[in-house]
Amino acid sequence: MNETEARIRQLRKELDEHNHNYYVLNAPTIDDREFDRLMAELQRLEEENPQYADPHSPTCRVGNDHNQAFTQVAHRYPMLSLGNTYTREEVAAFYERVQTSLQEPFSIVGELKYDGTSISLTYEHGRLVQAVTRGDGVRGDDVTENVKTIRSIPLVLRGDNYPDLFEIRGEILMPWTVFEQLNAEREREEEPLFANPRNAASGTLKLQNSAVVASRRLDAYLYYLLGENLPTDDHLENLRMAAGWGFRISDAMTRCRSLEGMYAFIDYWDVNRKNLPVATDGIVFKVASLRQQKFLGYTAKSPRWAIAYKFQAERAVTRLNSISYQVGRTGAVTPVANLDPVQLSGTVVKRASLHNDDIIQSLDLHIGDFVYVEKGGEIIPKITGVDTDARLLVGEKVHFITRCPECGTPLVRYEGEAAWYCPNDETCPPQIKGRIEHFISRRAMNIDGLGSETVDLFYRLGLIHDVADLYSLRESDIASLDRQGDKSARNIIEAIAASREVPFERVLFALGIRFVGETVAKKLANAFGSIDKLAAATEEELVQVDEIGVRIAGSVRAYFAHPSTAALVGRLKEAGLQMELSAERLARRTDRLQGATVVISGTFTHHSRDEYKSLIEEHGGKNTSSVSAKTTYLLAGENMGPAKLEKATKLGIKIITEDEFLQLIGQEQ
C-alpha cells in the first residue's frame, strides 16, 4: 500500500469516527473547523486519485448535484402500518389480547413514535447497500444516494458481531432546529412553509439532488431489526447491540413487564417529549420476543404484536403581550402575536402567527388575554382560542392597523384576498429589500456572498436601491465596509458577474412578479420566449398558457404596466442578463405535443425524468403526475409504478416507451 492510499484510508477511518461521535453519540472530540479540514483533504485526495474511489467514503455525505430518478424496489418483508390507539382503555385491550393469545410470560418494549418518514436499510457484509422508503408497504423508492448524506446512518458498520445480511428499519427525521431554519428561509422568500418536520423530511428525502438533501441535515432513529440470523430472540437486546454497530438507537426504549408499566411510560413521555430535539406523535408498544411476535402474526394491515398510542396535539396557555406587524416583499402585512415564553414541542415559543385580520376578529383578541397555543408539529405556532374565564384585567381589543408600520402608507385589501397590503412598492424599505433578497436567492440568480444582512447594509448606505444596482457595484465599494474586505468583495463581484449566465426562466422568477413562482416562470418563458414578448402579451394570450389563470395573468399585466418596470428591465438588459431563451432552446421548440398531456413513470436510459419534463414542455405538451381520463400518453420506463400502469390500461391511455416518445418529438436515438 502506497503513502497516498494509506492516508486516504486513515482519513476515512478518522472521519467515520468523528461522524459517529458527533451525530450518534452527541459527543464530538474535534471542532467543526478541524473536521472540515480533514474532509477537504480527503475530497482532494480522492479527486486526484480516482482509482481509490469508495461509495462508502465519508465524502459521500455531501451528496452530488446529479439528477436521479428513483427506482421502485420490492420490500423483502412488507412494511405494514401500526394500529392506532388514543386511550388507556385501548392500550389495556391490546395488552389483554396479547395475554390471552400467548398464555405464557411476556414483556413489552415501549418506545417513542417518531414523526418522520419510514425507511428500510439493508446491510451486507457490514456495508449499506440499499435504502428504500415505505411506499405502499409492498414496494418503495430506492433513495440510497440521498440516505448516504444522513450522517447518523453508518455507511460501514463498527465491530464485527453483526449478521452478514440484515435489514434495519426506522424513521428519517428533520430536527426542530433545522426545520425552523428551513422554514425561516422559506418565509423570507415568501414561499409556502412546510407544515411540520415530517412533511419537510419526506419532501427532502425525495429530492432529485442529493447535494440539497445533504444541506438539509436530516437525522435518523432506527427501531426494528429483521433478518434470518439476528443476534437474539429479544427485540430490545437486538437494538442495543445495533447501537454498538454504529446506529442511532433511542435511549428512551424501556421494557414494560405489566400494564401499569406501560401506563407509566405513557405518563412520563406525554410530558417529557416536549424537550426532545425531534418531533414525536406517540408511543409504540411491541411484544419483545421475536418468537412470540411470529406466533401472534399479522392482520391484513398491521402486526398483532405491536400498537401505537397517539398523543393529543400539544397545547399550552400563555399571555398575549402585544401584536407586531411584518411587511413582506409583496407588501403583505402579517400580524404576529408576542407571548410570554412557553415550552411547546421541543422549543420555547415566544411568538405565534395570526395570519390575517379575519383570524384576529374571530378570536376576539384583547391585549393581556390568556390564549391557547398549539404547535402539533407546526413550525409557526397558532393561537386556537382564548381563555375567556381568565379575562379579568385585560387591555384594549386588538384591531388590525390601518397604515404600513414601515412607511406609513394606508393599507389596502384587494377583492378576494384575506391579507392587507402596503401598496407603496416604490419606497417601502421591507418591500425593496425583500425583492432584492428574493432576486439573489439560490433558486433565482444564486448570487453567493450576499445575504439579508449584507443587503440591509448596502441599502442603508445607499449602494443599492433596486436589483439593477447590484450590477453597478465595484469591489472598492464593498472592500472598505465593516466586516467585508478584499476577498469578500471579490467573491461578491464574481458571483454577480456569474449571474449574467442564469437562464431566462430563472431571471423571470427572480423579478418577483406576484404569483409567478419557479414553475409558472418556466411556463411563461417557454410560451413567450423573451421578456419583450411577455411584456406585450394580453391577458387573453396569457391565460392560453397551461396552468395560467386570470389571477396570474392579471398580476403579470399589472407588473409590466407599472411605470418603473420598463426602466428596471432595460437596466437589467444593459447589465447583460438573459432576457430571452437561448437560440438553441428556441430552435428545439415545436408543437409536436400540442394539446397532449403526458404522465412519466419509471426510470430511463437516455434522459432523466426532469429532462423529459422539459422536453414535453418544449414540444408544446403538458406534464402531469397522475393518470386520468385527460391523459394522452403514459411515458413508461423501467420499474414503473404498477398502479399507474393498471389505471392507464383500464382507461385505454396510450402507453409509449422511451424510444417511441423520442421518435414522437423527432429525436430518434
Residue 544 CA from chain centroid, whole number: 32
End-to-end CA separation in angstroms for the chain = 45
Check: CB of residue 260 under 8 Å from CB of residue 301.
no
| Separation between Cα atoms, residue 479 and residue 457, nearest integer Å | 13
Torsion of CA 180, 181, 183, 187, to 10 degrees: 120
Grid coordinates representing 597 are 398531456
Grid coordinates representing 6 are 494509506
* Three-state DSSP string of 576-624: CCCCECCHHHHHHCCCCCCCCEEEEECECCCCCHHHHHHHHHHCCCEEE
- List the one residue out of 550, 445, 545 whose CA is nearest residue 501: 445
Active-site positions read 113
What is the CB neighbour count within 10 angstroms for residue 42? 20
Which contiguous run of DSSP H or E holds residue 28? none
- CA geometry: angle 108, 90, 99, nearest 5 deg: 45
Q: Is 492 exposed, middle or buried (0-12, 13-18, 19+ CB in 10 A)?
A: buried
Check: CB of residue 393 under 8 Å from CB of residue 368.
yes
Q: Which amino acid, one-letter code, is at 338?
A: N
Does the CA dihedral 173-175-178-183 come out positive or negative?
A: positive
| Separation between Cα atoms, residue 459 and residue 71, nearest integer Å | 48
Residues 6 or more apart whose CB falls under 8 angstroms from that of 551 comprise: 515
| Separation between Cα atoms, residue 379 and residue 179, nearest integer Å | 7
Q: Which single residue is written with the C-alpha cell 423501467?
A: 638
Residues 6 or more apart whose CB falls under 8 angstroms from that of 122 comprise: 76, 128, 129, 130, 131, 132, 165, 166, 167
